[in-house]
Amino acid sequence: MSSGPLSPRRHAVSRFRRWPPLFFYAEGKTALDPAYPAVVAALKDSPLPLLDLGCGMGLLAAYLRAHGYEAPILGVDADEKKIGIARQALADTNVRFRAGDAREFPEQSGHVVMLDVLHYFDDAAQGALLRRIAASVAPGGLALVRVTLQEPTWRFALTRAEEWLIHQVRWIPWMGSNFPTRDEVSAPFREAGFAVDVQPMWGRTPFNGYFFSFRRPEVIL
């Protein structure tokens, strides 16, 4: 009996079938985490190109393509192993991947997405990176940033513990622990005249993630 065509989510996940642990990770991540659907909802029909900073194994790019986002995508990640997997998993697409530090991304004018990456940088680097992201958003474009905010909650405590664990098992080679405040994330965008929207974004996860949507106004001539 045929099980019919794959849903867009399952199609994205199936790209990682040849790496069973990554396949199961992708299955869980896309089933439980609301951030990817939020990115699709924000970008789906846009023709502007997308820069995905800290793209990991390319799962968001796979998810966006499966959901009909057709504009160019460049993913950047410091972990060469993950970039190698992303390139193989999306080899039949025009998504490009680059191994390197998120702070040294190439010139861009479009949308920028950065999910769960900011806490790997110290205060000065976070401010500089956010300002550079703001400068790289096209008129009418978006910067979509998910961050764990520093708050006195059990969710924050659990997120810190999870970060420690994924570093111990070497899923992420670097230890990230510099969680910012809401104002620290928003300030560079407010100063550049962006409209700011912030929503809790933990869905069925126990983590303390917030989703910042920063829109650069259209230039009015």
Ligand X SMILES: C[S@@+](CC[C@H](N)C(=O)[O-])C[C@H]1O[C@@H](n2cnc3c(N)ncnc32)[C@H](O)[C@@H]1O
Nearest distance from residue 130's CB to ligand X, in Å?
14
Applying the rule CB under 6 A, the residues between 189 and 218 that interact with ligand X are none
Nearest distance from residue 78's CB to ligand X, in Å?
4
Residues 181 and 13: their CA atoms lie apart, in Å, by: 33
Nearer to ligand X, 59 or 64 (CB): 59
Q: What is the dihedral of CA 116, 186, 35, 113, to 10 degrees?
A: -70
The helix or strand, by DSSP H or E, that contains position 32, with its residue range, turns out to be helix 20-32
79 is an interface residue for ligand X by CB under 6 A: yes
Applying the rule CB under 6 A, the residues between 102 and 121 that interact with ligand X are 102, 115-117, 120
Per CB under 6 A, the segment of 10-18, 41-49, 50-58, 87-95 that binds ligand X is 50-58
Rg (CA), the chain: 17
Per CB under 6 A, the segment of 75-83, 131-139, 154-162, 195-203 that binds ligand X is 75-83
Nearest distance from residue 155's CB to ligand X, in Å?
16
Q: Work out which of 34, 54, 110, 209 binds ligand X, going by CB under 6 A.
A: 54
Nearest distance from residue 1's CB to ligand X, in Å?
34
Nearer to ligand X, 116 or 184 (CB): 116
Nearest distance from residue 32's CB to ligand X, in Å?
12
Residues 194 and 186: their CA atoms lie apart, in Å, by: 9
Nearer to ligand X, 41 or 195 (CB): 41
Residues lying near ligand X in the complex (CB under 6 A) are found at 54-56, 59-60, 77-79, 82, 101-102, 115-117, 120, 172, 174
